[in-house]
């Protein structure tokens, strides 16, 4: 569908992967600023020098954490898209369909939104990854809508933004209110929006919209 904005993945040594795995857990559950390189090095079983040799700086390690998370998310979406039925509405709703599996181990909310709040500098490499992730999802909605035959121009752009807002709102609602129905509720609302925007018999007067 779409290539990632983060470029080809570079393989890590086993030691570097261990550092990244430990840092990712700590950054997500404790917060980026709350975790120092001393803690990461100690829990990874390496020295600070080794950590810096592998990643150069904490900022680079933060970016690596967000990049790996971004890749996992995009892989989940694109894999589901490849197996989706040739149904226009169903394909547009794929990002909502993967949410339950994505959210299950992520009770602290969206790692990208959390990182965005902690990284005010727009030039921080991690913040750029966060922005690219949200832009990618919005563009994916736009492309899937266009592929499905939605009207072009500003209408598609607006609908893509609406779908992104529903999607992100479901993640926040799930994390803050512990509402396990948030993803399904957002999908139902998204289906109504998408079905109403597509041409064809589903637009007949009196047509009811039922979540799949």
Is 209 a domain residue?
no
Q: Which of 37-51, 61-75, 140-154 has the lowest mean pLDDT?
A: 140-154
Residue ranges of alpha helices (H) inside the chain are: 14-30, 37-44, 48-55, 58-82, 88-92, 94-97, 99-103, 111-118, 125-148, 154-177, 182-197
- What is the CATH classification number for the domain harbouring 187? 1.10.357.10
Full residue range of the structural domain in which residue 27 is found: 11-56
Is 75 a domain residue?
yes
For residue 3, give every residue at least 6 positions away whose Cβ sits within 8 Å of its Cβ, in sequence order, or none. none
pLDDT at 210 over 90: no
Percent of the chain with pLDDT over 90: 75
Q: How confident is the model at residue 2 (pLDDT cuts 50, 70, 90)?
A: very low
36 and 94 in a single domain? The answer is no
Interior/surface letters 35-60, b for 16+ CB within 10 angstroms, e for the rest = bebeebbeebebeeeebeebbeebbe
To which residue do tokens 């999802």 refer?
137
78 and 51 in a single domain? The answer is no
Token reading at 116: 């965005």
145 and 82 in a single domain? The answer is yes
163 and 199 in a single domain? The answer is yes
89 and 123 in a single domain? The answer is yes
Is 122 a domain residue?
yes
pLDDT at 70 over 80: yes
Is 210 a domain residue?
no
Q: Based on the structure, what is the number of domains in the chain?
A: 2
- What is the CATH classification number for the domain harbouring 48? 1.10.10.60
Read off the pLDDT of each residue in 96-114 and give the average, rounded to a whole number. Answer: 93
pLDDT at 84: 87
Is 181 a domain residue?
yes
Read off the pLDDT of each residue in 201-212 and give the average, rounded to a whole number. Answer: 41
30 and 118 in a single domain? The answer is no
Read off the pLDDT of each residue in 181-190 and give the average, rounded to a whole number. Answer: 96
pLDDT at 200 over 80: no
pLDDT at 86: 85
36 and 141 in a single domain? The answer is no
Measured between alpha carbons, how far is residue 135 from residues 67, 70, 75, 181, 182 in Å? 14, 12, 16, 25, 22
180-184: long-range pairs with CB below 8 Å, 24+: 183/96, 183/99, 183/100, 183/103, 184/100, 184/211
Is 170 a domain residue?
yes
pLDDT digits (tens, 9 = 90+) for 127-148: 999 999 999 999 999 999 999 9
Q: Which of 56, 76, 93 is the last residue of a domain?
A: 56
93 and 174 in a single domain? The answer is yes
pLDDT at 8 over 60: no
41 and 91 in a single domain? The answer is no
pLDDT at 74 over 90: yes
Is 51 a domain residue?
yes
17 and 50 in a single domain? The answer is yes
pLDDT at 51: 97
Q: What is the mean pLDDT of the chain?
A: 89
98 and 196 in a single domain? The answer is yes
84 and 105 in a single domain? The answer is yes
């Amino acid at each position: 569908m779409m290539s990632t904005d983060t470029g080809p993945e570079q393989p890590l040594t086993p030691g570097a992967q261990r550092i990244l795995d430990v840092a990712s857990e700590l950054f997500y559950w404790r917060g980026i600023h709350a975790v120092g390189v001393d803690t990461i090095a100690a829990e990874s079983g390496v020295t600070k020098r080794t950590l810096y040799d592998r990643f150069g700086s904490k900022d680079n390690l933060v970016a690596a954490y967000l990049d790996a998370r971004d890749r996992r998310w995009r892989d989940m979406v694109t894999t589901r898209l490849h197996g989706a039925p040739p149904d226009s509405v169903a394909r547009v709703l794929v990002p909502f369909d993967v949410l339950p599996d994505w959210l299950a181990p992520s009770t602290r909310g969206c790692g990208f939104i959390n990182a965005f709040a902690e990284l005010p500098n727009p030039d921080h490499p991690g913040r750029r990854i966060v922005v690219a992730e949200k832009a990618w999802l919005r563009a994916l909605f736009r492309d899937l809508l266009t592929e499905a035959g939605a009207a072009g121009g500003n209408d598609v752009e607006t609908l893509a933004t609406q779908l992104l807002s529903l999607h992100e709102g479901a993640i926040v609602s799930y994390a803050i209110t512990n509402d396990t129905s948030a993803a399904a509720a957002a999908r139902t609302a998204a289906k109504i929006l998408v079905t109403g925007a597509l041409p064809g018999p589903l637009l007949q007067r009196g047509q009811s919209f039922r979540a799949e």
